[in-house]
Amino acid sequence: MRKFLLLIIIVFLAGCKTSSDGFSPATYFDTGGMTSYQDSDWNIEFYDNCGLPESSSVRWVTEEKETFLRFTLKNKQVGGCSTDGFQRHGAPYWERAEIKQASTLKKDTDYTLTFRARFMKGFIYEREDFVQLHESVKGCRVGPALMFKFSNGHFTSQHWGQPLKRKVHINEVMGKWVDVKLEVIFTESYYNFYFNDEKIIDEGDFGVEPCGEPHFKFGIYRPGDEEATGERISILDIDKIRLVEKKKK
C-alpha cells in the first residue's frame, strides 16, 4: 500500500512540472555537459552545454568514409538552457539541439571560421539558427553577437536590416554540401559571410559586450510554436570546422 501511495505522489509531482511560469519538455536527455565533439578534420572542440532533447539529437554519421555531425530537432523539443522554457522574444519557449565551443576567442584578434553545412530537412520555419557567435558566460548573461539563420526559408542574420548582396532561399542549398566562411573582424567590429566563396554579407556590423567571452555555437535553435502540429523536423549536417587567426598587418 505504501509503495502504491508513493507511486501516486510521484506521478502527481511529475504532472506539476509544467506550469504557467515556463514550459518543461516531456522528455529530456541531459548529458551533464560532459559529451565533447571533435573530428579529425576539425581544429575546435565543442560540447553540449545545455544537454539534448534526445540522445540522437546530435550524432555522428558516416557516408562514403566521411564522418560528420548531424543535428535533428523536432516539434516541442524545448532546449535545456535555463531560459529556453520561458516566454521571450516573441515565443512561448525555445527549441534547441546545439553544441558550444569549449574555448573562447580573443577580442583583439581577427578570425576566419570555415565549415561545411548540409541542410537536409526543414529550415522553412521561423528563425532557425544554424551557427552563432555567442558571448554569454557566467557573470555576463548577454545575447549573441551574431546569429545566422533561415527564417521561413530565407537566409538572414540576427540583424534583420543587414543588407544581403544576394538573397538565398533554402531550396537553393537543400540537400547539398555548402562551404561556409565567416570572417570575424573584432578589431574593426565587422564581419563577412560567404556561401561557396560567394560573399553574401559584406562588412556587416556587430559588437561584443565588455564582459562577454566570444565563442561559436553550432546546431539548430528556434522559437517554439504551441499551436504547431506534426513533427516539424529540421535536420542539419556539419563538418570540417576550422578556425584560423587572421595575420595582423
What is the SS3 assignment for 27-86? CCECCCCCCEECCCCCCCCEECCCCECCCCCEEEEEECCEEEEEEEECCCCECCCCCCCC
Q: Which residues pair with 58 in a beta bridge?
A: 71
Report yes or no on 10 lying in a domain: no
Instruction: Give the CATH number for residue 55.
Output: 2.60.120.200
Task: Give residue 84's domain range.
Answer: 29-245
Query: pLDDT category, 158, cuts 50, 70, 90?
Result: confident
Burial class of residue 101 in the structure, from the number of CB atoms within 10 Å of its CB (0-12 exposed, 13-18 middle, 19+ buried)? buried
Number of domains in the chain: 1
Report yes or no on 24 lying in a domain: no
Report yes or no on 204 lying in a domain: yes
Report yes or no on 130 lying in a domain: yes
Maximum mean pLDDT: which of 155-159, 208-212, 244-248: 208-212
Report yes or no on 13 lying in a domain: no
Query: Which range has the worst mean pLDDT, 14-28, 50-64, 216-230?
Result: 14-28
Report yes or no on 9 lying in a domain: no
Once rounded to an integer, what is the mean pLDDT over residues 165-188?
98
Mean pLDDT of all residues belonging to the chain:
87
What are the grid coordinates assigned to 39, written together?
Answer: 573530428
Query: pLDDT category, 32, cuts 50, 70, 90?
Result: low
Q: Which pLDDT value is given to residue 21?
A: 45
Tens of pLDDT, residue by residue over 199-213, are 999 999 999 999 999
Query: Which range has the worst mean pLDDT, 14-18, 23-27, 127-131, 217-221?
Result: 14-18
Maximum mean pLDDT: which of 4-13, 59-68, 153-162: 59-68
Once rounded to an integer, what is the mean pLDDT over residues 214-227?
96
Once rounded to an integer, what is the mean pLDDT over residues 136-151?
91
Contact 65, 81 (CB under 8 A): no
Query: pTM score, two decimals?
Result: 0.86
Query: pLDDT category, 22, cuts 50, 70, 90?
Result: low
Q: Which of 23, 15, 33, 128 has its CA nearest to residue 74?
A: 128
Once rounded to an integer, what is the mean pLDDT over residues 160-164?
71
The percentage of the chain sitting over the pLDDT mark of 90, rounded to a whole number, equals 71
Report yes or no on 187 lying in a domain: yes
3-state secondary structure at position 212: coil
Report yes or no on 16 lying in a domain: no
Tens of pLDDT, residue by residue over 51-60, are 999 999 999 9
Neighbours of 146 (CB within 10 A): 24
What are the grid coordinates assigned to 46, written together?
Answer: 565543442
d(CA 91, CA 70): 25
Contact 224, 77 (CB under 8 A): no
Tens of pLDDT, residue by residue over 79-105, are 888 888 888 888 899 999 999 999 999
Q: Which pLDDT value is given to residue 249?
A: 63
